[in-house]
């Protein structure tokens, strides 16, 4: 069986009912904290019942929800044509009317306060009084219904035969969607028959929350040894050797005590032979080495992770064979983590080959432009949030690529003619910074006269996070013949100020590149204190506060929350995750709405104008440079 779609409600960032389809290879694309990993972990909970990596907890309930119930659902295709119930009686999901409207097997699990409450099937079932609760009736009850209908049953001990006869007696049934619990009577029999077909789901997380010790993560081979030691065919002969050693050793120990008692009986009485069970995984040690004798645990984190990733694949294959499960679903969270930018193509080709098998399905998450560009459009799912903070999953559409490019900053193909080719890359930290620059450029006419950021020769790329070091250190944009303007937040007033300064210093040593660190905390501070106080009079005290260091999104989120009459808790009483969501909503509003209300006069009064003007003048200068001739 393979997943055709997944359904999630009231789980972490997914407050509303959210459904999306899956292909053989599916990649969830989006920025950090969009909700990509949430989907993979929800599936781990669904398939492994908290026994693998992720456990369902009360804190997983959406912080804004009034409900204490979470629903995780999965629809399958490729289900078995026939299932054996009642010991030897074959039946089918179709004949039992246990498929949904799309003729898929749809299973939902409901969790109450973090604990599994019930599992049920979504079935397109006959709307008939004689069929009501058919799959949860006991055999005597089914017999009574069959007798009323005048039906003849060959074996009156088989409840499945009664159900089949009753269902077949309905001519041209009207179907309606119902929920059938799987823990009672006939439904339980069918569920037990289905369990052997449920795919094995294996999740490989970017931060790999293994239950094993850190030393084992440093050397992946230790994980392999530990898994091998679970094999009874290996353990049995080792145990025989151990028992023989114990037997012979006890003989020698007893002889020693006997001899000792001749010399000192008191000491001899205190002694006895005792053996600890051996930790076999610590006995055998090996590692992978290069031809030069360099052990894998001495290699870089990217190489170790690559080995772990493929060990994970091999182990999933072994478990599939062990359980005799026909299908494996591989879920890889951000496989590009710790990998050099040259590796994505190799990884994607491996995932495509894996997904091409009839028995495998592959799910990825990524916020890497390189990964997203190499995948077919039908495999991409874009995860974003609307202004209300609801998580939205976009599937294949005509404008999908442009939306993903806008969300991730994917580099377009660079044309070779001097007219249409991209010439200037403006690099910022994230999507909100892109919106700030574009929208303030569109809002203030004098800025737009200096340079129009809608020029097709300009691309704006989000560069924050761990990938920035690769782009700067290896200077990939220069190799693409792009002039570069980098603008990063100084984060003054935060816990980690000037975190990008070392990269800006490197950028400023290179030709046709220039880097700026904002004089204020972040782009949102350029909203100007004059405008913010006009919009939010009680937001802060201008006479006693250094505007440049304030966390503006948090201030606006706080005052918006406290002015909402429906808010039952103070800002300080809110959980950190809820504060974070509200702050994110404030950031979106600042950069997509409020920025259009700031005037040129307000920018000049707050000394913001000159700094932004300098950025745009440098952008115009760099755009005029023809790097093809350099």
Q: pLDDT tens, 63-82?
A: 888 899 999 999 999 988 88
- The H-assigned helical ranges of 324-410 are 344-356, 369-373, 400-408
Distance CA 365, CA 337 (A): 11
How many C-beta atoms surround the C-beta of residue 35 within 10 A? 23
pLDDT at 449: 93
Cα separation of 342 and 324, whole Å?
37
Residue 39 has a pLDDT of 95
Measured between alpha carbons, how far is 22 from 42 in angstroms, rounded to an integer? 15
- Within 8 A by CB and 6+ apart from 193, the residues are 83, 84, 85
CA distance 167 to 171: 9
Residues of the chain with pLDDT under 50: 209-220, 411-420, 628-630
Angle between helices 576-592 and 431-443 (to 10 degrees): 30
Beta bridge partners of 45: none
The predicted pLDDT at position 221 comes to 55
Of residues 17, 20, 24, 21, the one with CA closest to residue 1 = 24
* Length in residues, the chain: 630
Which positions ≥6 away from 410 have C-beta within 8 Å?
369, 372, 373, 404
- 112: enclosing H helix or E strand: strand 105-112
**In the chain, where the domains are located:** 128-173, 220-286, 424-629
Cα separation, 414 vs 616, in Å, equals 23
Q: Around Cβ 520, how many Cβ atoms within 10 Å?
A: 24
Give Dmax (Cα) for the chain. 107
The predicted pLDDT at position 489 comes to 93
Joined tokens for residue 271: 């002694």
Q: pTM for this structure?
A: 0.58
> How are beta strands 513-517 and 69-77 bridged, if at all?
unpaired
């Amino acid at each position: 069986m393979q997943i055709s779609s997944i359904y999630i409600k009231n789980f972490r960032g997914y407050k509303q009912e959210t459904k999306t389809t899956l292909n053989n290879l599916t990649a969830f694309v989006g920025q950090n904290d969009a909700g990509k990993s949430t989907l993979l972990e929800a599936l781990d909970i669904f398939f492994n019942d908290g026994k693998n990596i992720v456990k369902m907890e009360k804190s997983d309930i959406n912080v804004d929800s009034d409900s204490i119930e979470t629903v995780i659902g999965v629809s399958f295709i490729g289900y078995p044509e026939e299932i054996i119930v009642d010991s030897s009686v074959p039946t089918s999901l179709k004949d039992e009317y246990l498929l949904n409207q799309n003729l898929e097997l749809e299973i939902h699990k409901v969790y109450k306060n973090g604990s599994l409450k019930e599992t049920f099937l979504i079935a397109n079932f006959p709307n008939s009084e004689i069929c009501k609760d058919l799959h949860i009736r006991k055999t005597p009850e089914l017999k009574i219904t069959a007798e009323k209908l005048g039906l003849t049953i060959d074996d009156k001990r088989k409840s499945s035969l009664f159900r089949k006869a009753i269902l077949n007696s309905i001519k041209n049934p009207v179907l309606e969607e119902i929920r059938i619990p799987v823990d009672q009577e006939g439904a339980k029999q069918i569920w037990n028959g289905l369990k052997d077909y449920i795919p094995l789901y294996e999740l490989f997380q970017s931060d790999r929350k293994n239950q094993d010790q850190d030393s084992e993560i440093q050397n992946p081979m230790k994980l392999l040894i530990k898994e091998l030691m679970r094999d009874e065919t290996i353990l049995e002969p080792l145990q025989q050797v151990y028992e023989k050693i114990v037997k012979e050793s006890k003989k020698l120990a007893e002889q020693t005590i006997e001899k000792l008692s001749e010399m000192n009986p008191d000491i001899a009485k205190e002694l006895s032979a005792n053996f600890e069970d051996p930790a076999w995984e610590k006995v055998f040690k090996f590692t992978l080495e290069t031809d030069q004798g360099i052990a894998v645990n001495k290699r870089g984190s990217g190489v170790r992770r690559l080995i772990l990733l493929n060990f994970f694949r091999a182990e999933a294959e072994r478990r599939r064979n062990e359980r005799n499960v026909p299908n494996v679903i591989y879920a890889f969270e951000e496989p590009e983590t710790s990998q050099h930018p040259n590796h994505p193509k190799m990884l994607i080709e491996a995932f495509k080959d894996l997904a091409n098998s009839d028995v495998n399905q592959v799910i990825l998450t990524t916020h890497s432009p390189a990964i997203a560009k190499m995948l077919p459009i039908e495999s991409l799912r874009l995860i974003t949030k609307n202004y209300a903070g609801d998580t939205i999953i976009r599937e294949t559409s005509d404008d999908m690529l442009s939306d993903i490019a806008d969300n991730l900053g994917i580099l377009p193909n660079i044309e070779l003619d001097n007219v249409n080719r991209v010439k200037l890359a403006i690099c910022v930290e994230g999507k909100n910074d892109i919106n700030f620059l574009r929208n303030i450029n569109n809002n203030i006419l004098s800025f737009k006269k200096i340079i129009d950021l809608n020029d097709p020769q300009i691309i704006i790329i989000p560069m924050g996070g761990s990938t920035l070091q690769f782009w700067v250190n290896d200077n990939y944009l220069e190799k693409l013949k792009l002039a570069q303007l980098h603008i990063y937040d100084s984060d003054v007033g935060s816990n980690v100020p000037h975190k990008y300064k070392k990269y800006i210093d490197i950028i400023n040593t290179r030709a046709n590149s220039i880097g700026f660190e904002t004089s204020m905390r972040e782009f949102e501070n350029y909203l100007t204190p004059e405008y913010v106080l006009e919009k939010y009079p009680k937001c802060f005290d201008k006479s006693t506060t250094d505007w440049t260091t304030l966390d503006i999104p948090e201030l606006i989120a706080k005052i918006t929350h406290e002015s909402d009459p429906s808010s039952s808790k103070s800002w300080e009483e809110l959980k950190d995750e809820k504060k974070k969501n509200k702050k994110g909503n404030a950031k979106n509003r600042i950069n997509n709405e409020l920025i259009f209300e700031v005037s040129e006069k307000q920018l000049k009064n707050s000394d913001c104008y000159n700094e932004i003007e300098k950025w745009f003048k440098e952008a115009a200068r760099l755009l005029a440079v023809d790097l093809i001739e350099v």
